[in-house]
Structure 1
Amino acid sequence: MKFKIDENLPVEFAELLRSQGYNAETVKEENLCGKPDENIIEVCQQENRILVTLDLDFADIRAYPPQNYPGIIVLRASRQDKLYLLPIFEKIIPLLQKETVNQTLWIVEKNKIRIRS
């Protein structure tokens, strides 16, 4: 699986994925910071990458129907600091082998994950 980590998340997300054998790039590494959502998701489609983001706009299935994308993982968090977000993200790493991400929307909260097709 290949991932794209949005600019609103710590680069450690990409490092964590890489340490588990996944291919992960960041929006910053590809000079996409500040680009509109449509550009980011288009690059994800072209590169067949799952987008990981805090941007709740990507949770709108009318605007971003999951079946049209390699996968979208949206973190819904009460805080956006690295020390709060990393443990939440670490919890989903084992699920990547058990659940499909392809053409789904994962909404990840501190104590639950919702998966929509």
Structure 2
Amino acid sequence: MNILVDENLPRSLAPQIAELGFTVQDVRDIGLRGQPDTEVMATATATDAIILTKDRGFTNVKTWDENFTAGVIFINLPDDSPASFVNAKIIELLTQRTATSLLGAVTTVELRRALSRQARRRP
């Protein structure tokens, strides 16, 4: 499973995800820092990567590229959450969920739960 980490998440997150065996890229490392969401979406579509973000705009399926089926993990935690806490919640999700439950879904990570709803069918 491929994951694209948006710039609004801790820099320390991508290496921790990679340690779990996922293919992961941080937008800041591939020239997408400060770029529009459409550019991030295009990259995620081209690499079949789940977008991991705090940007609520990515949860609107109507704005998704028509070929994007990987899904979005939306981090809905308080803005003052320490990076270590944010990272731990994401790592917990990735270790406790199967890939099929995340692919093609919008998954929202909150303080006490993570909810997924299927958004697109995978080919």
Give yes or no for TM over 0.5.
yes
Measured on the aligned residues, the alpha-carbon RMSD in Å equals: 2.0
Q: 1:72 aligns to what?
A: 72
Give percent identity, aligned residues only: 19
Q: Which runs of 5+ in 2 are unaligned?
A: 119-123
Instruction: Name the aligned partner's letter for residue 111 of structure 1.
Output: R
The aligned counterpart of 2:114 is 113
- 1:24 and 2:27 matched: no
CA–CA separation in structure 2 for the residues paired with 1:43 and 1:92: 23
Distance 1:55 1:10 in 2: 13
Q: CA deviation at 1:93?
A: 1.9
Aligned to 1:100, what secondary structure does the other structure show? helix
Equivalent residues in 2 for 1:13-92 (5 A)?
A: 13-64=13-64, 68-79=68-79, 80-92=81-93
Contact 2:48 2:68 in 1 (8 A): no
Deviation at 1:65, TM superposition (A): 8.2
| Distance (Å, rounded) in 1 between the aligned partners of 2:67 and 2:108 | 15
The verdict on how the C-alpha distance between 1:75 and 1:67 changes in structure 2, with shifts beyond 3 A counting, is: farther
> When the two structures are superposed, what TM-score results if normalisation uses the length of structure 1?
0.88
Given that 1:67 and 1:104 are in contact with CA atoms closer than 8 Å, whether structure 2 keeps it comes out as no
- Displacement of 1:98: 6.1
